[in-house]
Amino acid sequence: MAAAEQQTRDTGGAPVIDWTMAASVARRLVGSGPDVPVQEAVTAVRRLRALAATAEGHVRDLTGLGGGLPMLPGDVVDRAGWVQAATDGLAVLTSTTLDASITPSRVASGAAGVQAGLALGYLGSRVLGQYDPFGGGTDGQPGPGRLLLVAPNIVAVQHALGVPAEDFRLWVCLHEATHRLQFTGVPWLRDHFAALVGTFLSTMDTTASRLFDRLPDALRAARRESGRPDAVGLIAYLQAPEQRDAMTKLLALATLLEGHADHVMDAVGPQVVPSVATIRTRFSARRRGGGVLDRLLRALLGVDAKIRQYAKGSAFTRHVIDAAGMDGFNAVWTSPQTLPTRREIDEPSEWLRRVRP
């Protein structure tokens, strides 16, 4: 039973966000992906499943994370499979972190589901892979985690870039294997992430109810701070202090995790991925490309912000490793208190002075 359906059955009504509706909308939008010869599709699925474990071995060697953990394959899915996995994971996360006082009578469950489905439909045709730290559960309960690789999207991007198929598959697997090791090799990280999400979501309804009261003061404060506020900055000023603090910590954590994974997938070097330099150059150019509509959708869905996270987090990781080595960088995983703040992401020397004086 899908997590969203289990959630509805357990609560006796619709969840705050109708994830069943979200999955239905998203599946209608994603399509099936590129038409490729059957043998190429079969080979891609078989190799991706195996390369997830191979990639994790390389990541362990480079980072020192995950020693002694079992080496697991990845789950290779199509676009519809990714949509179902994503909605199941989000249903579990929101059901375990949302405050019980936020009910469908106060938040339009179906409308929220449609909006989520539109976002997932857009992302489902583009996402290459994902590690869901709560995936793999049953009956709507959190699982041990699940690494997903979206075969049709990986094949489509590899064709578009004109790079060797095996190199590109391994390169993508390196990124997702790094995410898996971040959560499985750092014992406290999953619970810390869930707690931050819970704090952020639990004050969502209170923040929304006071939105118009806060707006004039938020605009004035944002202008004083930066002259012309961006969307993220304005949202922060609209939030209650507790929610703002949680969002700030979540953004810093996401930037670290994405940037670290981006650094690792390139740092393994040409001995592992011979065409890594070409892949990175062409892939980065593709990230910046797209038509006007595509760029607008990326901005609305936060994809461009995520791309900036890759760059900032990668720069932080590279600076700290250059200054203190991999062992010095791995101090970030000691405890929640040693994670970098958003300011320290921009100024890694400040993190080094605080954590490794």
- Reported as a single tens digit per residue, the pLDDT across 10-63 is 444 556 678 889 999 999 999 888 889 999 999 999 999 999 999 999 999 999
Distance CA 133, CA 41 (A): 27
For the whole prediction, is pTM greater than 0.85?
Answer: no
Distance CA 304, CA 68 (A): 37
Indicate whether 185 pLDDT > 50: yes
Q: Compute the mean pLDDT over every residue in the chain, rounded to the nearest whole number.
A: 81
Contacts (Cβ under 8 Å, ≥6 apart) of 168? 154, 157, 158, 161, 279
3-class DSSP string for 221-259? HHHHHHCCCCHHHHHHHHCCHHHHHHHHHHHHHHHHHHH
The predicted structure's pLDDT at residue 17: 76
The predicted structure's pLDDT at residue 113: 81
Supply the DSSP symbol for 281: H
345 touches 255 (CB < 8 A): yes
The predicted structure's pLDDT at residue 244: 72
List b or e across 273-312, with b for residues whose CB sees 16 or more CB atoms inside 10 angstroms. bebbebbbebbeeeeeeeeeeeeebbeeeebebebebbeb
The predicted structure's pLDDT at residue 294: 55
Residue 75 has phi, psi (to 5 degrees) of: -95, 115
- Which of 44-53, 136-145, 156-165, 315-324 is the least confident region? 136-145
218 touches 234 (CB < 8 A): yes
Map residue 327 onto helix, strand or coil. helix
Is the pLDDT higher at 171 or at 307?
171
The predicted structure's pLDDT at residue 183: 96
Distance CA 201, CA 73 (A): 33
Supply the DSSP symbol for 334: S
The predicted structure's pLDDT at residue 89: 87
Indicate whether 270 pLDDT > 60: yes
pLDDT band at 279; cut points 50, 70, 90: very high
Burial of 22 (0-12, 13-18, 19+ CB in 10 A): buried
Residue 221 tokens, joined: 């404060």
The predicted structure's pLDDT at residue 90: 85
Is the pLDDT higher at 85 or at 248?
85
pLDDT band at 208; cut points 50, 70, 90: very low
Q: Say how many C-beta atoms besides its own lie within 10 A of residue 146's C-beta.
A: 21
DSSP bridge pairs for 129:
149
The predicted structure's pLDDT at residue 188: 97
Indicate whether 326 pLDDT > 70: yes
CA distances for 60 relative to 177, 280, 285, 326, angstroms: 9, 21, 29, 12
- Reported as a single tens digit per residue, the pLDDT across 126-148 is 899 999 998 888 877 888 899 99
Is the pLDDT higher at 219 or at 58?
58
Distance CA 229, CA 185 (A): 38
Indicate whether 224 pLDDT > 80: no
**What type of residue is 196?**
L
Indicate whether 348 pLDDT > 90: yes
Percent of the chain with pLDDT over 70: 74
Residue 77 has phi, psi (to 5 degrees) of: -130, 165
Cα 20 vs. chain centroid, distance in angstroms? 21
Is the pLDDT higher at 302 or at 227?
302
- Reported as a single tens digit per residue, the pLDDT across 70-79 is 998 999 999 9
> Which residue in 166, 149, 159 sits closest to 276, CA to CA?
166
Residue labelled with tokens 């690792």: 264
